[in-house]
Structure 1
Amino acid sequence: MDNPLLKNFDTPFQTPPFDKIKSEHFMPAIEEAIKEAKQEIEDITSLSAAPTFENTLEAMEFAGKRLSSVASILSNLNSAETNKEIQATMREASPILSEFGNEIWQNETLFDRVKTIYNKKNELSLDNEQEMLLNKTYKAFIRNGADLNEKDKARFKEITKELSQLSLSFGENVLAETNDYELVISDEKDLSGLPESAIRQAANTAKSKGKEGKWVFTLQAPSFVPFMENADNRVLREQLYKAFMSKANKNDERDNKAIVQEIVNLRSEKATLLGYKTYADYVLEERMAESKDKVQRFLDDLLQQSLPKAKEEVAEIEAFVKELGENIDLQRWDWAYYSEKLKKKKYAIDDELLRPYFKLENVLDGVFQSAEKLYDIRFKEVNNVTVYHDDVTTYEVSNTAGELVAIFYADFHPREGKRGGAWMTTYRDQYKENGADMRPLVSNVCNFTPSSPGNPSLLTFNEVTTLFHEFGHALHAMLGSGHYGSLTGANVYWDFVELPSQIFENWCYEKECLDLFARHYETGEKIPQEYVDKIKASSTYHEAYATVRQVSLALLDMAYFTLEREDAQNLSDIEEFEEKAMEPTKLFPKVLGTLMSTQFGHIFAGGYASGYYSYKWAEVLDADAFALFQEKGIFNKEVSQSFKDNILSKGGSQHPMELYKKFRGREPKIEALLKRAGLK
């Protein structure tokens, strides 16, 4: 079989030839690429020459490039454009890839060579990046079982294979539950309160599903959110909310409760094997936060700052409901609806007022222009890069000298083969080899309100900030300038990775930035200052409630992964465990049948286990960092150059606190976040 994955990509910029890649190519390519990588590792271990940084550390870094490429293409397609064949391939490939990883990290000869170099590192003249690669590689061996006895090594391998399969199954179940649900409306009266854009989109969805003349709402965010915020029919809001919050919690073949128990148990066992008390101890050793106690103090402090005000916000909504003459007990499916109504009353602003100024193509152009003004890079749409779906658009990113910076893939609309949410990913990280600077292939994947015949894609302000957020991640990946792919771009400590994304959201609130792109899609008029003032004034609206929500998820995450071995083994009632973990943040009564754990993909199918606190942690960093931009000017070249040089281009080549101090001149302070959030 002619397999494009096993050839050097003879394409513009060596991008993946998606037009030639088929599902059946992946397994043969993975098997062959593993053989190739094993040979590259054997070439290192069989060297008679004494171990050096170059012949061992660098050689390891550059080994297995083809395998990394094939695995990243498969993984990214499984998230952005999956089908039954891709999912089956992913299930087959995942344990094989885990096993190969274990073989590398438990290779005694390889570890001995690395350990020899590590033990004499003070005698070597290593720069910061080389020292980080050495330290990170040595730790990776230890953290992947290199020092275990043979029995424990075998068990460690079993655990990693099982965990990779369980995470895949968890994600597949959530995706299937999301795709299968439909709220079908036949009576036009049930659309009362909904904006025209939501009604139109629901009609288009119904038509695409063969239900002409009806309206279909789904659990995808562009459908779910407008319904919950605007639909007057309380019974249907309750129905949709319960469907959303009961994903993979129905005691059927897609139920994730047993998977949650097993993932928690296996992660605990893995950590214990390696000598850690809990999985959180294992994870946080490689984070800015450093310890579970420090994370707990951070979350407790945030909760103390936000919970009293969040309770006031709930009481304000309850009073508002009474003021409207409605005799109800406020429930979770009422919150977004009445919160949106009160927001309109207080600030005379809502999504429908702002949408006309946020045509997707214009917002993307604004993102590009902001990046150009800050970092002197240019974006040009190109048609010679093949894509995995017609929705995807590609751009060549270059610097002022015309040199290639990156290739950027933009994939913005929901479809059945794409999981929910928004993310940045890469098909190739930036690295340097043999004098060549290999530039990254970077992708943003989102689920924004799609366009329809005669109606452009008009974003909510929340979607605008999401686009800026994900593009902040993309800039981190694009602007890398290191030698080693494992240390460039977003390959940083997990509680530092959100700084470049979250700081970029701040520009959305500034008139100077909004004037670059926020124009009415019909009249071309700039967004009025009055609206910008309202966006800013309303930016702290129910921020305490939102903070408590984020803290509640972080507490749930920490509760699972601070379980000691016996408690992790005996975890039985997921619903009871979740309720107890989130009790300190409770603002509404429990809704029967709903469960966060069974759909909490961040920690059970993604990389945020013991790390969900990172979002709030990074908010401290981003608020503190943006305060400098506000002081000097949001497009100030000196500040942006410093942010680029000390944060974006450095990746994970140095400890993040050292990088932050080089940019800011000091450690971050929480005051800027509390002020921005209206909590101080």
Structure 2
Amino acid sequence: MKTFFNLLLITVLITSCENDKKNTINTMNTTDNVLMVESALPYHAPDFENIKNSDFKPAFLKGISEQKEAVEKIANLDNDPTFDNTVLALEKSGILLERVSNVFYGLSGAHTNDSIKAIQEEIAPKLSELGDAIYLNDKLFNRIKIIYNKRDSLDLDSESIKLIENYFEDFEIAGANLSAEKKDTLKKYNTQLATLITKFNQILLEANNAGALLFTDKKALAGLSESQLKALEKKEKKGWIIPLQNTTQQPLLQSFTNRETREKIFKSSWNRADGSEYDTKEIIIKIADLRAKKAGVLGFDNYAEWSLQKTMAKKAINVFDMFKGLIPAATKKAQLESEEIQKMITSKGGDFTLEPWDWNYYAEMVRKAKYDLDEDQIKPYFELKTVLEKGVFYAAEKLYGITFKSRTDIPVYHKDVMVYEVFEQNGDKLGLFYGDFFARSSKRGGAWMSNFVTQSKLYNKKPVIYNVCNFSKPAEGEVALITFDDVSTMFHEFGHALHGFFADQQYPSLSGTAVARDFVEFPSQFNENWALYPDVLKNYAIHNKTKEQIPQVLIDKIKKSGTFNQGYSLTENLAASNLDMQWHTIATDKNITNANAFEKEALHNTKLDVVHAVPPRYRSTYFSHVFGSGYAAGYYSYLWTEMLDHDAYNWFKNNGGLTRENGQRFRDMVLSRGNTLNFEKMYKDWRGSDPKIEPMLKARGLK
């Protein structure tokens, strides 16, 4: 069974299959529903050619019913509780529900429609009610508790013991020890939260689409190349549409010479869900309030304290201490960068104060002047498919011995999706990988990884994993060239994929990436390091026209500019991470009435507003990580694991770098272990010591 707490980490996604965009919801027809039976495709991959929108709701309802029935049967057994009849039986419950959830939630963010949105809105509270029916079931918890208390005397392997402990902890965290009255209150809050989170995601998707700007005067887009203009052109609208990405800053702002255009795009991004038709301020206040009240019922001072129980950080104070250690250095560097950019503005004849919409444009000028590095110089060397196959895959092959074969016979949910079969060095099959890289209006913003099929020895399942990104799609017939930031994103998300592919667990609820939020980002951020590793970079950075390898002079420039703009980067990340923690350390009796005022005060009190031109990476109103997904009180994890990532890469550099021996050791001791060990111990056993922060500060140019 995919546990309730793992389900919380599934990004809320909705999708439709291309052959069924107009299907209405049919709750009765199950005879032709392919979701009701396990897929006969290789690796049990979803049969997207035959899945219809109308299949999801009946499959969900049947899956929920089956799991409820299984749980009741376990809870009401007359036999004494044993590992097999209680814990293992619970782990085996919900097979159908997990299958439909993996497809539905795994795809919904990538290709949504109105039918799927309606299903999600209806199903979300039912899934919340199911979670409560499991984790607030007194009889079931009592059986789990008996087994937990005598676990050391049982003749079980270490992973089975860990499974017992994991369930027991999840039950306690979910409120299994509460009184009947408090359980009723908690159930009400959980149902309301499920509905609000679904609503937030749906409104934000509309806000992102509505925030896209149409320009009919080509002069307003001065600075863009002809190929960029061609990709953005919408002939039926007689103009060019600039879509919004999920972050505050928009990538194209570094190119526009027209300041009015930059300001217009930035403000559209900043205000997309504030004051527009698709306003989320009231929803996020309600979500934060309900989370605080939920924490109170569970006996905690705030939501963060409850949420952090199974993480490496453990306590909110530890997260805030990390912030305090980074904020002064980050803002000081950002201020110096701001002054440098202001000088560039003046030198170019500008008579205005640096604003957020100016930063990327003039920062690019500073970078060119300081490092002689022009993004347009290096972009031709980063063709998407070449980066994937000769960069991302190549690094994985050198480290871990795995190989990849393109599969065009596997059904996909959108024509842009690429599929590869993954093999071990000895030829054994490892799994399937789906890559969905281009932005579209039916896809939510950002980038992510998840499983269509989760690895487990219990079911003899190999992983089926997907990466989703939002890169700009080229015009028809044009080559897909991406930025170096996009390259880093590809390596990052495939780091998550490797964590899933190398899973070697008996039980699916402990498999692969089913780990703490502040550990799950470690393998992904660590994998980014190989993007600039000399042997890897030279293998994939091939000019799309001349086919020449990227020259060493450009490589040197990229590396030298590695600490450029890091004050800005770290400050915007800290600002977003801090906002998340501030929203989720609200006292249970505090009443927030104005979201914008709360946000402003939260940034001011932590001195994250001292550099005027550096806004948070995500504003509260479109912070989908924390209000629409499983990262509430957890966005700090990107910074927490950055320390692990740089420390780990430092170990690799000191021990021979990119070698099969090093890769295998990392795979065996970290990537393959899933949630079977204490994370601190897992890291220390591999590293030989506790992580050190110095490599991170050095990489950021702060030391």
**TM-score tier after normalising by the smaller chain length:** over 0.9
Return 490-499 or 123-132, whichever deviates more: 123-132
Aligned to 1:352: 376
Aligned to 1:284: 308
> Which residue of 2 is the match for residue 574 of structure 1?
595
Q: 1:554 aligns with which of 569, 572, 577?
A: 577
SS at match of 2:539: coil
Q: CA RMSD in A?
A: 1.9
Q: CA deviation at 1:390?
A: 1.0
For 1:157 and 1:103, how far apart are their aligned partners in 2? 9
**Which residue in the other structure is 1:211 paired with?**
237
Bigger Cα displacement from structure 2, 476-485 vs 448-457: 448-457
SS at match of 1:432: coil
The answer as to whether partners of 1:91 and 1:168 remain within 8 angstroms in 2 is yes
Q: What's the CA shift for 1:36? A: 1.8
After TM superposition, list the pairs within 5 Å mapping 1:351-390 onto structure 2: 351-365=375-389, 366-390=391-415
Match of 2:268 among 243, 260, 269: 243
Distance 1:9 1:351, change over 3 A: same
Give 1:191 deviation, angstroms.
2.4
Query: Does residue 123 of structure 1 match 2:149?
Result: no
1:311, 1:260 → 2: CA distance? Answer: 31
Alignment partners' CA distance in 2, 1:216 and 1:144? 46
For residues 591 and 251 of structure 1, the distance between their equivalents in structure 2, rounded to whole angstroms, comes to 23
Specify the alignment match of 1:532 in structure 2.
555
Structure 1, unmatched stretches of 5+, are none
d(CA) in 2 for partners of 1:251, 1:412: 29
Residue 512 of structure 1 deviates from its aligned partner by 1.1
SS in 1 for 2:331: helix
Match of 1:98 in 2: 128
Structure 2 equivalent of residue 333 of structure 1? 357
Partner residue in 1 for 2:702: 679
Residue 40 of structure 2 is matched in structure 1 by: 10
Distance (whole Å) between structure 1 residues aligned to residue 597 and residue 246 of structure 2 = 28
- Whichever residue aligns with residue 624 of structure 1, its letter is D
Q: Is the 8 A contact 1:357 1:520 kept in 2?
A: yes
1:178 to 203, 208, 217: 208
Q: Distance in 2 between matches of 1:439 and 1:316?
A: 52
Offset of 1:495 from its aligned partner? 0.2
Taking the aligned partners of 2:440 and 2:472, their CA distance within structure 1 comes to 11
Secondary structure class of the residue paired with 1:626:
helix
Structure 1 pair 539–79 and aligned structure 2 pair: CA distance change class (3 A)? same
8 Å contact kept, 1:195–1:352:
no
Worse overlay, 437-446 or 305-314: 305-314
Distance 1:633 1:515 in 2: 18
Q: 1:660 aligns with which of 683, 686, 691?
A: 683
Deviates more, 1:537-546 or 1:319-328: 319-328
Match of 1:500 among 523, 546, 550: 523
Contact 2:248 2:266 in 1 (8 A): no
Structure 2 match to 1:163: 193
- CA distance in 2 between partners of 1:485 and 1:131 (Å): 14
Q: Report which stretch shifted further, 356-365 or 314-323.
A: 314-323
After superposing on structure 2, the runs of 4+ consecutive aligned residues of structure 1 that deviate more than 6 Å are 221-224
Match status 1:304 vs 2:328: yes
C-alpha distance in 2 between matches for 1:506 and 1:591: 26
Matched, 1:84 2:84: no
**Number of the residue aligned with 1:639:** 662
Residues 43 and 461 of structure 2 are in contact (CA less than 8 Å); yes or no, is this contact kept in structure 1?
no
TM-score for both structures, normalised by structure 1: 0.95
Kindly state the Cα deviation for residue 378 of structure 1 after the two structures are TM-superposed. Answer: 1.3
- With 7-16 and 616-625 compared, the bigger mean Cα shift is at 7-16
SS at match of 2:293: helix
Distance 2:148 2:137 in 1: 16
Larger mean Cα displacement after TM superposition, 408-417 or 117-126? 117-126
CA distance in 2, matches of 1:275, 1:237: 48
List per-residue Cα deviations over 1:328-384 (Å, max 9, x = no partner): 111111111111111111112222111111111100102111111111111111123
Q: Which letter does structure 2 place at the counterpart of 1:410?
A: G
Indicate the residue corresponding to 2:143 in structure 1. 113
Q: What are the within-5 Å matches in structure 2 for residues 46-65 of structure 1?
A: 46-65=76-95
Partner of 1:322: 346
Q: Secondary structure at the match of 1:566?
A: coil
Letter in 2 for 1:162: Q
Counterpart Cα distance in 1 of 2:115 and 2:386: 36
Instruction: Give yes or no for contact 1:217–1:224 (8 Å, CA) kept in 2.
Output: no
User: What is the DSSP-based 3-state SS (H/G/I as helix, E as strand, rest coil) of the residue aligned with 2:85?
Assistant: helix
1:58-117: per-residue Cα shift (whole Å, max 9, x none)? 221121111011112111222111101001100011111111111011122211110001
* AA in 2 matched with 1:645: D
Shift of 1:539: 1.0
Are the counterparts in 2 of residues 331 and 588 from structure 1 also a CA contact under 8 Å?
no
Asked whether 1:470 is paired with 2:496, we answer: no
Once the two structures are TM-superposed, the CA of residue 591 in structure 1 deviates from its matched residue by 11
AA of the residue aligned to 1:532? I
Structure-2 separation of matches of 1:221 and 1:556:
16
The structural deviation recorded for 1:440 is 1.0
Cα distance, 1:22 vs. partner?
A: 1.2
Q: How far did 1:310 drift? A: 1.4
1:201, 1:639 → 2: CA distance? 42
* Larger displacement relative to structure 2 (241-250 or 71-80): 71-80
Matched to 2:265, the amino acid is: L
In structure 2, relative to structure 1, the CA distance for the partners of 1:481 and 1:666 (3 Å cut) is same
2:331, 2:610 within 8 Å by CA — same for their partners in 1? no
Structure 2, unmatched stretches of 5+, are 1-28
Matching residue's letter, 2:451: T
Report SS of the residue matched to 1:344.
Answer: helix
Corresponding residue to 2:545 among 499, 512, 522: 522
Instruction: Please give the per-residue CA displacement for 1:592-615, whole angstroms capped at 9, x wherever unaligned.
Output: 9x9811101111001111111111
AA aligned to 1:380 is K
Partner residue, 1:134 = 164
- Whether the aligned pair in 2 keeps the contact of 1:78 and 1:90 (CA below 8 Å) is no
- Give the stretch that moved more between structures: 581-590 or 619-628: 581-590
* Contact 1:94 1:164 (8 Å CA) reproduced: yes
Q: How does 1:136-155 map to 2 (within 5 A)?
A: 136-155=166-185
State the match for 2:3 in structure 1: none
CA positional deviation for 1:57: 1.2
Does the CA contact (< 8 Å) of 1:332 and 1:588 recur in 2?
no
- Equivalenced residue count is 669
1:460 aligns with 2:483: yes
Residue 480 of structure 1 contacts residue 489 of structure 1 at CA under 8 Å; is this kept in 2? yes
Shift of 1:221: 7.1
Contact 1:11/1:17 (8 A) holds in 2: yes
Counterpart Cα distance in 2 of 1:591 and 1:356: 29
Residue 494 of structure 1: how far off its partner (Å)? 0.5
Deviation, 1:215, is 2.3
**What TM-score do the two structures reach when normalised by structure 2?**
0.92
Helix, strand or coil at the partner of 1:437: coil
Task: Return the offset for 1:574.
Answer: 0.8
Identify the residue that residue 417 of structure 2 maps to in structure 1. Answer: 392
The code of the aligned residue for 1:385 comes to I
What SS class does the counterpart of residue 397 from structure 1 fall into?
strand
Mapped contact 1:321–1:338 kept (Cα < 8 A): yes
The answer to whether the Cα contact below 8 Å between 2:571 and 2:614 also exists between their aligned partners in 1 is no
Aligned equivalent of 2:437, options 407, 412, 428: 412
Aligned 8 A contact 1:23 1:89 in 2:
no
- Equivalent position of 1:482 in the other structure: 505
Separation in 2 of the partners of 1:283 and 1:370?
35
